[in-house]
Chain A
Amino acid sequence: MKSIPVSTTINGDPYEFLCAPDETLLDVLRNRLSLTGAKEGCGTGDCGACSVTLNGRLVCSCLVLGAEAQGAEISTIEGMADGDELHPLQRHFIDHAALQCGICTPGILVAAKSLLEKNPAPTDEEVRYWLAGNLCRCTGYDKIIAAVQAAAAEMRGA
């Protein structure tokens, strides 16, 4: 199979890579670009551990082809903090003990950020339904919901 050259933007930086036509964006990020923050929990779109945004839309990067990144703007967990300044979501996840093992955390943070961009004041139920595609096996979600709400409140300036 002939490799495809791709030019894209990830977390604001230009990237160029070659990938196989059937290679997923997740594999490209992790194996070619050393961006291992997105995790593979299933490879079939069922766990959300690989969540990134593609042109502002929340996607499972295991269901996107690397070639589809051509000309796109991608955001991953590695781009969430501003230098050493954590995003409020990241801070509140630590403060609320919203992670135990932490493997789901990058995907959940990316998904939660995307929710708050669309809906800065979600109800608990809206947070739960938005995050229903992101499995966490450790926490029972309780502290995740609390952390998202605390971050949302801070971001609203409440």
Chain B
Amino acid sequence: MSLDEYTRREFKQVGTRVRRPDGVDKVTGRAMYGADATAPGMLTGRILRSPHAHARIRSIATSAAEALPGVKAVITSADLSVPEDEFIRDVQDNCMARGKALYDGHAVAAVAATDAATARAALKLIKVDYEPLPHVTDVDVAIRPGAPVVQEGRALENVPAGMSANVTSHSEFGHGTPAEGFARADKIIERSFRTAATHQGYIEPHACLASYAADGKADLWCCTQGQFFVRTLCSAIMGMEASQLRVTASEIGGGFGGKTTVFIEPVALALSRKAGRPVKIVMTRDEVFRATGPTVSTSMDIKIGMTSDGRITAGEAHLRYSGGAFPCGTVDMGGQAAFAAYDLEHVRTFGWNVLTNRPKEAAYRAPGAPQAIYAVESVIDELCQHFGLDPIDVRLKNAAKKGTKSSYGPTFPDIGLVATLEAAKKHPHYSAPLKDGQGRGISCGFWFNFGGNSCVSLNVNTDGTIGVTEGNPDIGGSRASISLMAAEELGIPYDRVRTIVADTSSLGYNDVTDGSRVTFAVGLATIKAARAAIRLMCERAAKIWGIDAEAVEWKDGAAVPAGPNAGKFPPMSLAEIAAVSFETGGPIAGHHEVNVDGAGVSFGVHIVDVEVDKETGATKVLRYTVFQDAGKAVHPSYVEGQMQGGAVQGIGWALNEEYIYGADGRLQNPGFLDYRVPVASDLPMIDTVILEIPNPGHPYGVRGVGETGIVPPLAALSNAVSRSAGIRLCELPMSPPRVLKALTGAG
């Protein structure tokens, strides 16, 4: 890990609330999102989807559709090759079923036609001969031997023999001997939990425009969190060289992890190749719910032992996650995250991934962590209730800190959990009086944070302005943060920097906008690209002054002689150096390419007050406060925005959101009317407290902030409901009917 990047400094611009550079475009309707692009001769693509949860596809007859006037291409999986790489093959098979439809909504064929009405009519003319097969959508049923098998032969060697073929992988993390720890506990609580699959719920459906030319080159425009990864997947599926496929990321209307893979892009490319014309595909909301990535559904057993003064003696978790019809490693992250907030001598987690006839999981904000941490934080809260201990004190007593050997292996460097808990404890929210029937809950949250591959080019224009070229779609203000960091390092005003997001032909590879990595990793690359440009500018000044380059340093946006021996020259500003650059050696630019390490883990603590309506079972959120360590908040408003947005997604997950499958294996609520995300009138203001414990792995101390915020709400709400209504639910969401049932059951 690179833990020596950080040096303390006074910031002039980082930490200010500047206007984002894409703001005007986005408040005037000018910004171009996935569905907003057109091309000459463009066709409309549409996809036929399986009505069955599980069915063998005996045959697909497309000739009637092909014969319909206006239809220019029809494809099935037969039009795609079979990639050797298993991961790519799964992605492709999810985009277009091969042999079997594995879930309700699985794509089986696609058409491109001159307009949407013709395309829709053509879909009706495609005859698919299905042989329905027994299906399974529940993780606890799918894991049993004898359950319908979703896919044969997908288990890794680490899965013991004798289990259902739906179990595809097993993982184990931890240290110590839990049995020893449990023997020292004054109280052990064991509980089983279930959480429903939820959807990322971005408001912009997936959309793309593909244009495949006769010479084998192609252009793809799409809303994605990672144009470079889209290129990797699509070029592999299409059998193209990466250089022949240029992917441009549109503005993106939300992703939260759900736009880190492809669903329609290879289909549009294949249709375009066959039709010889550009093809645009825009998903309907129904398709988004049925056929893009929700998160995993889970079933978990948690066992925790505690002494009467609140020390956790041991923790154990058994996690069964289902990422739908394809193997999925999300349970590993759940197993690693479950106890990460605590300094434990004895801890062990066991994870199992289980196939079900549900759509292939896609990442959703801190994938795998909210579920496991919900279960752990619920049991810790119950132990606090049992002993009558303060829930923050107990967490402080057990909190991981610098030097703690984490439950998943690494030893923590400087982390912010204790400071975050202390801030929560002394905040007025925590001591505010509650009325009868109201309850307060808290929970910790954790996320690893990623770094990853990042490239930045920084061009010094002759008028003294700066163009920053980076490769990660701006999903919530990252252009502003990156411009701020460039301006800070160069010592020039923020508005002299313009940051743009490049297509895949204009910059080296950038990992996906995920893992809360962009402000951290792309920011680091930007600072280093700026330093490279500064070195060049110092050289140019040295040349002009006729002194050694080493005798020049950069201060407040200008080259100055370093010390009295260097000679007496007035500072030469960036603009002055840039203006004469053609005479001093040519254009000036800096660039930096790196696989960034040292992301720095992130912790958060949430406090929530609720009131449960005992007549209806509805839970009203009365007050909410988020505490989170941001390392350094580059643009505090967008840091708060991440904390607030994550919290509200978590509130939705805790209270209402769930994938509901019928006995027929079909999704019963594929729309915003029945899959209810939080609306403005459901919520109070979401207060935020940003802690700044510098991340040693970043020059400015920045940590990713995007994901941790979704982790604590699940348990915080459940703990608050328990204290408001006197019932402990072990299943999410705590929807009104479920709460009502628990209330009646509790008498």
List residues of chain A with CB under 8 Å of any chain B CB.
20, 30, 35-44, 46-47, 49, 76-78, 80-81, 86, 90, 93-97, 99-106, 109, 124-125, 127-129, 131-145
One digit per residue, 1 when the CB lies within 8 angstroms of any chain A CB and 0 when it does not, for chain B 666-709 equals 00000111000111110101100000000000000000000000
Within 8 A of A (CB), among B1-50: 17, 19-20, 22-24, 26-33, 35-36
* Any A CB within 8 A of the CB of B645: yes
| Bound CA span A129–B682, Å | 9
B686 CB contact (under 8 Å) in A81, A102, A129, A142 = A142
* Any A CB within 8 A of the CB of B322: no
B side interface size, CB within 8 A? 56
Q: Is the CB of A138 within 8 A of B285?
A: no
Q: Is the CB of B19 within 8 A of A94?
A: yes
The interface residues of chain B lying within 8 Å CB-to-CB of A20 are: 117
Knowing that A134-B680, A143-B640, A143-B641 touch, tell me 5 more A-B residue pairs with CB under 8 angstroms: A42-B672, A100-B641, A103-B204, A142-B640, A142-B644
User: What are 13 A-B contacts with C-beta separation under 8 Å?
Assistant: A38-B29, A42-B285, A44-B285, A46-B672, A104-B203, A105-B27, A106-B29, A128-B680, A132-B679, A137-B256, A142-B683, A143-B644, A144-B680
Given contacts A102-B251, A139-B641, contact A94 B476 (CB under 8 A): no
Given contacts A39-B204, A139-B645, contact A103 B253 (CB under 8 A): yes
| Bound CA span A129–B638, Å | 25
The interface residues of chain A lying within 8 Å CB-to-CB of B680 are: 127-129, 131-132, 134, 136, 141, 144-145
A41 CB contact (under 8 Å) in B19, B204, B641, B644 = B204
B253 CB contact (under 8 Å) in A38, A46, A102 = A102
Q: Which residue of A lies closest to B254 (CB)?
A: A101
- Kindly provide the distance from the CB of A119 to the nearest chain B CB, expressed in whole angstroms: 15
Q: Which residue of B lies closest to A144 (CB)?
A: B680
- Kindly provide the distance from the CB of A111 to the nearest chain B CB, expressed in whole angstroms: 10
Q: Which residue of A lies closest to B651 (CB)?
A: A140
Q: Is the CB of B679 within 8 A of A94?
A: no
Residue in B29, B638, B671, B680 with the greatest tally of chain A CB atoms within 10 Å: B680
Within 8 A of A (CB), among B270-311: 282, 284-285
A39 CB contact (under 8 Å) in B33, B201, B673 = B33
| Bound CA span A133–B203, Å | 13
| Bound CA span A78–B30, Å | 8
* Any A CB within 8 A of the CB of B566: no
Q: Is the CB of B477 within 8 A of A100?
A: yes
- Kindly provide the distance from the CB of A57 to the nearest chain B CB, expressed in whole angstroms: 20
| Bound CA span A144–B645, Å | 12
Nearest 8 CB-CB pairings of A with B: A37-B29, A103-B253, A102-B26, A140-B648, A97-B637, A100-B476, A140-B644, A46-B672
Residue in B29, B32, B649, B673 with the greatest tally of chain A CB atoms within 10 Å: B29
Q: Is the CB of A40 within 8 A of B679?
A: no
Q: Is the CB of B644 within 8 A of A135?
A: no
Q: Is the CB of B285 within 8 A of A41?
A: yes
| Bound CA span A140–B680, Å | 8
| Bound CA span A36–B32, Å | 8
